[in-house]
Chains A and B, each alone.
Chain A
Amino acid sequence: MGELYKVSSNPHIRSKVATNGIMLAVVIALMPAAGFGIYNFGPRALAVMLVTVASTVLTEFLFGLYRRKLTITDLSAVVTGLLLALNLPVTIPLWMAALGGVFAILVVKMLFGGLGQNFMNPALAARCFLLISFPTAMTAFDCDAFTGATPLAALKAGEQVKVLDMVIGRTAGTIGETSVIALAVGACILILMGIIDLRIPGSYILSFLIFAGLFGGHGFDPSYLAAQLSGGGLMLGAFFMATDYVTRPITGRGQYVFGIFLGLMTGIFRIFGPGAEGVSYAIILGNLLVPLMEKYTMPVAFGYGKGGKRREK
């Protein structure tokens, strides 16, 4: 026998897309929203982002030291940290932001087995954890730039809101949620790069708008619906959080079910709930039901069912 070559099972080529590339793309797609957050709320917004990202990455690194496995290179901790910051008010004490990062990575992600094993979106779970633990600090939207209620709270109180300001993002709210334009630019980046598709955001937003139109008390009044669409965490949640690969159904039909479920829950929380917001809790709740949604939407293999001839024995 002559010289020997390497052997392995087919296929022998691989695409160039890798996990850390996808994560990097998400970080890039979040940049418009993050940049606008800094412009809107001042340099403290940047400080919050740096703290949460440092906290998530460091937590994962330390956990990796303990488990002797370096996992921070997949950049998923950066995404979690950044998303968390965008979901926090700019006035939040930095230690709380850091604590949120630790909770997101340690409790929600690593203790369940690390990347791919968490059953809730880590950033949102951390946000909810902070909301429950520190409700005052988490809903203090008065800052140097803005005083008074968020547009959604104002809307719920029956006040007039300026939809144009909401679309541009010159309103109070969490760091990353205010500007529809900045979020839309990021969402377009993700869609054009093929990282997300419109199944979840589309069915989410559409079902929410229908719900708000039916039960919001204003009918299908365009300015009311536009305000509901632009306000709160809906855009951020629909395009960046609900589409999180790990915590959404993998089946195509399941993704529509997931999106519609989120739309209905967000509508219920916003319209009938005590607060004006509902996106975070809706997504967390949806995350928990993902296995069920997948179970009932498993696809039928090619050649079975419609168009196929024989059925599975």
Chain B
Amino acid sequence: MAKLTFTGGIHPYDGKDLSKDDPIRDVLPGSELVYPLSQHIGAPAKAIVAKGDRVLAGQKIAEAGGFVSAPVHSSVSGTVKAVEPRRVATGDMVMSIIVENDGQYEDVGFQPRSSVGKMKREEITEIIREAGIVGMGGAGFPTHVKLSPKEPDKIDYVIANCAECEPYLTSDYRRMIEEPEKLVGGLKIILGLFPNAHGILAVEDNKPDCISRLQELTRDEPKLGVRALKTKYPQGGERQLIFATTGRKINSTMLPADVGCVVNNVDTVVAVYRAVTEGRPLMERIVTVTGDAVVKPANFRVKTGTTYAEVLEAAGGFREKPEKVICGGPMMGFSMFDLNVPTTKTSTALLGLTKDEVAAMEPGPCINCGRCVAVCPGRIIPSRLADYASHFDEEAFVANYGMECCECGCCSYICPAKRPLTQQIKSMRKIQLAKRKK
């Protein structure tokens, strides 16, 4: 059964003290907001507005491009300036809708709903779909798809991923401290979709204040429980989380629903709550701005489409020029070369580091020490897989479970020879995934 932890994993410097104690503040966007049409996994959304149209905050400006897709909403009122490719945080050019902010923040008029309990399953998933909700922990998988498994009766656990194992990030922590009722409320709504399910709030034990607060709120809820998980990266990884809370195991070819689980991140659950009860689509999120290069690390409520540069400005900017700027956490986030790109539904954090540890270290030969094997949560042999990848031995890579890598980065982190193990495995996985799609 549940062991509240998993085998492998690492304990990096967590840097959460930098930003965890400041209450969430609002950031007002600048004059121009950019809404990429691909902020999620799946088909890009299709723009339904054109240049010159006036839009309101909360108005749908692009509709889902398929079942696995999500609509996009404007987070401000203003005029559509253009629909054109724009650079996004990953460095790619993505078709985007550009809205000129009129500074009025006039919204479409959100309709709160009171009779949530009486709503049918299809109605609720439709609201979630229309609200454009996607997994906000970083992956961006459309939530309505996750909530529509083939056999809803066979779902035993709905898990709210409150682990926040990624170093430096504190946005989920602040959410849990400031709006725990919305988290619990959202979880109850999702639980309503699955008649046989129990709800689990899975929190790492480095957040005792969240645990006790959530325990108070769920005391009278027989179907809800809080689990204190051992603090270890990547405890919030989907496979590790399911194992730690239920003792069930999934591999890369399976979905959580295959073992009767549904997992959603804190911000996603809150977004579900707001969409269903308040009628508000997904148009803002909490972003942690932190790192030793930032003047005043803190958490911000950001309207999607605001640029990273504007969010950084709210945190006082950089105290010195950082060597590296990361979108997300230091373990799984990606580095950005420019800050004038929009935040999206999946922007968890902006991290500015004065020193780039990676560039300062010269990779040496593998000494076969086995540290990567010890920390790998996928229980595979990263050093060998990286070898297969660099020799382009596809057969050996796949036969030795190379596709099971979750790219958590533990192996590269721990490697005393400073070898880029995750990176080599990741590129080979991309090649293999691309071949499968053909």
Contact = CB atoms under 8 A, between A and B. Distances in A.
Grouping DSSP codes into helix (H, G, I), strand (E, B) and loop, the A interface class, with mixed when no group exceeds half, is loop
Interface residues of B, number: 75
Nearest to A76: B367
A6 B401 contact: no
A301 B423 CA distance: 19
A246 B243 CA distance: 33
Nearest to B248: A307
Contacts of B19: none
Given A4-B338, A7-B337, A302-B404, A22 B323 contact: no
Interface stretch (A85-93, A111-119, A151-159): A111-119
A17 B416 CA distance: 5
A1 B414 contact: no
A19 B365 CA distance: 9
A6 B338 contact: no
A197 to B, nearest CB: 9
A5 B293 CA distance: 13
Given A12-B353, A14-B357, A15-B413, A6 B330 contact: no
A93 B426 CA distance: 53
Q: Interface extent on A, as a size class?
A: 35 or more
Interface stretch (B173-181, B184-192, B372-380): B372-380
Contacts of A5: 322-325, 335-338
Contacts of B361: 14, 18
A274 interface: no
Contacts of B423: 8-10
A300 interface: yes
Nearest to B8: A302
Interface in B367-422: 367-371, 373, 377-381, 383-384, 400-401, 404, 407, 409, 412-418, 420, 422
Contact of A251 (B338, B366, B371, B381): B381
B436 to A, nearest CB: 12
A2 B340 CA distance: 8
Question: Which of A2, A6, A18, A115 has the most CB atoms of chain B within a 10 A radius of its CB?
Answer: A6
A252 interface: yes
B250 A303 contact: yes
Interface of A: 1-15, 17-19, 21-22, 74, 76, 114-117, 245-246, 248, 250-252, 298-304, 307-310, 312
8 contacts: A5-B337, A10-B333, A13-B13, A13-B358, A245-B367, A252-B373, A302-B379, A303-B250
